[in-house]
Amino acid sequence: MGIVRTIPRAPGALPLLGHALPLRRDPLAFLVSLPAHGDVVRIKVGPAAALVVCDPDLVQKVLLDDRTFDKGGPFFERLREGLGNGLGTCPHGDHRRQRRLTQQAFQARRMPSYAQVMSKEIAEAVGRWSDGDTIDVLTDMQTITARTTMATMFAGTADASLTGLLVDFDVFSHGVYKRMFMPPPLQKLPTPGNRRYQQARARLLQAIGSIIESHRARGDKGEDLLSTLLAASDDGQGLSDAEITDQVMSFLYAGMETTAAVLAWALHHLARHPDLEARLHAEVDAVVPDGAPATFDLLPRLEFTGRVITEILRLHSPGWMLTRIATTDTELAGHPVKKGATLVYSPYLIHHQATLYPDPERFDPDRWDGRTTRGRTNALIPFGGGARKCIADTFGTTEATLALATIAARWRLEPAPGTTVRPAPTTVLNPYGLTMRTTARTTSNPAASRTA
């Protein structure tokens, strides 16, 4: 094992509570304060301890060894209880098989046809806006990503209940996050919050049951994720109905919230940086045909748009805090790690270190201009890494880039008067309170505003 080093403790732990207060009050600031104390830092949440991995190379080490550092830990168990045992939540022992069965739906050759669906959904959603509307940006972005996920992953699914599904996912997602820090006995109390969570979850499972049923009734052998899963379970070696339900829950959950948060943050920052917004407008005016949505073939030319998305993935990584559990006694950079220890990795913490990103709070898409990004692969981890890396990283960035380009070609969005936006870290890092006013763009792209 070499030299054994003691793991430093984060200062400010209170008796009984540990670091629960700063984690609840301002978890992002708390996480960003930790690298000052070491490359691995011990924190306490109530009686539970966790090791926060603060060094990008050590984070890679953890992510690449998914047998030793499996999904798990007391916080993660709450997510597993809520979401079931799908691809994102299953333990190492189930993961290879689940990934093999679902990976086909994310092959590169499928991306152009997925992008076609994305372009259509995005155009329809922003086509419903009128000049001078005040919009709840996150909800509108979630509508785009929910419809896209349903139309690509579960092709042909009726979407009449989409609004209800979005509301239920919101309640569910907040409930899961609250439960991560709630002692188990409190989770069982019949409080209004617990009841709302249970009811939302029950409705979600019911909606997913209907999606599976209608897909099965149609009996088509499509290439979408659900058809692939159903076909796999038909041959007797694949997934059971309960497993398919868990997969659908996992994919809907991961597909709806993450990309929507990225888009909402991008619109927020662009409105506060008119110089960068003007550069985005110049690019989309030159690349996106008037009145049409951005399409897959245009992606290589939407270079600045892509940089904006990468910078948002750095600045506001939707998956901001994730955990692993040590399955055996091991070590990390000479620090002893006991079997059963919880490890935390945080893309947010890595992306906000001034040693890796000068002036880390600044929104600066030009960090990604190709000259300044060399040698930083371990320092940009919005999709995690190793075997559990996001299965839909290309899907997510394609969707975000097409949506941002289509919106920017047609609309200018400004903060609605009196709006105060703050990060709301739940299971995803969302911008809370983001309402914006729409103005149809006329100056440099007249045809776009005519059709908007």
- Chain contacts with ligand HEM (rule: CB under 6 A): 87-88, 99, 149, 153, 250-251, 254-255, 258-259, 262, 313, 318-319, 322, 382-384, 388, 390-392, 395-396, 400
Which of helix, strand or coil describes residue 287? helix
State the minimum distance, in angstroms, from the CB of residue 220 to ligand HEM.
Answer: 20
Shortest CB 309 distance to ligand HEM, Å? 8
Choose between 19 and 388: whose C-beta lies nearer to ligand HEM: 388
Short-list 223, 224, 401, 392, CA closest to 295: 401
Q: Give whichever of 101 and 126 is closer to ligand HEM, judged by the CB atom.
A: 101
| Helix intervals (H) in 45-85 | 56-64, 74-83
CB atoms within 10 A of CB 45: 19
CB of 434 to ligand HEM, least distance (A): 17
Instruction: Encode burial over 221-256: b for 16+ CB neighbours within 10 A, e otherwise.
Output: eeebbbbbbbebbeeeebbeeebbbbbbbbbbbbbb
- How far apart are CB 360 and ligand HEM at their closest, in Å? 18
- Residue closer to ligand HEM by CB (options 37, 110) is 110
Compare residues 228 and 449 and give the one whose CB is closer to ligand HEM. Answer: 228
CB of 92 to ligand HEM, least distance (A): 10
Q: Give the nearest distance from C-beta 51 to ligand HEM in angstroms.
A: 16
Nearest approach, Cβ of 204 to ligand HEM (angstroms)? Answer: 16
Residue-by-residue DSSP string for 166-227 = HHHHHHHHHHHHHHHTS-HHHHTS--HHHHHHHHHHHHHHHHHHHHHHHHHHH----SSHHH
> Please, which residue, 193 or 238, has the CB nearer to ligand HEM?
238
Nearer to ligand HEM, 75 or 395 (CB): 395
Shortest distance, position 275 Cβ to ligand HEM, whole Å? 25
Choose between 313 and 448: whose C-beta lies nearer to ligand HEM: 313
- Indicate the residue among 324 and 441 with the shorter CB distance to ligand HEM: 324
Q: Residue 234: CB partners within 8 Å, gap ≥ 6? A: none
Comparing CB distances to ligand HEM, the nearer of 122 and 452 is 122
Sheet of 411-415, strands arranged across: 134-136, 435-440, 411-415
Q: How far apart are CA 69 and CA 67, in angstroms?
A: 6
Q: Which residue has the tokens 């093999």?
A: 100
Record the tokens describing residue 28, joined without a space.
């992002």
In single-letter form, the type of residue at position 128 comes to R
Q: Give the contacts of 200 (CB within 8 A, at least 6 positions apart).
A: 167, 168, 169, 171, 172, 175
Whichever of 142 and 250 has its CB closer to ligand HEM, that residue is: 250
* Least distance (Å) between residue 73 CB and ligand HEM: 10
| Minimum CB distance to ligand HEM smaller for 17 or for 387 | 387
Question: What is the nearest approach in angstroms of ligand HEM to the Cβ of residue 16?
Answer: 29
120: its two tokens: 């259509």
Q: What is the DSSP letter of 423?
A: E
Smallest separation, CB 380 to ligand HEM (Å): 11
Q: What is the sign of the dihedral through the CA atoms of 359, 362, 364 and 370?
A: positive
Pairing label, strands 48-53, 342-345? parallel
Question: 218 to each of 146, 209, 214, 215, 380, how far by Cα in Å?
Answer: 22, 14, 6, 5, 42
* Alpha carbon 46 to its chain's center: 27
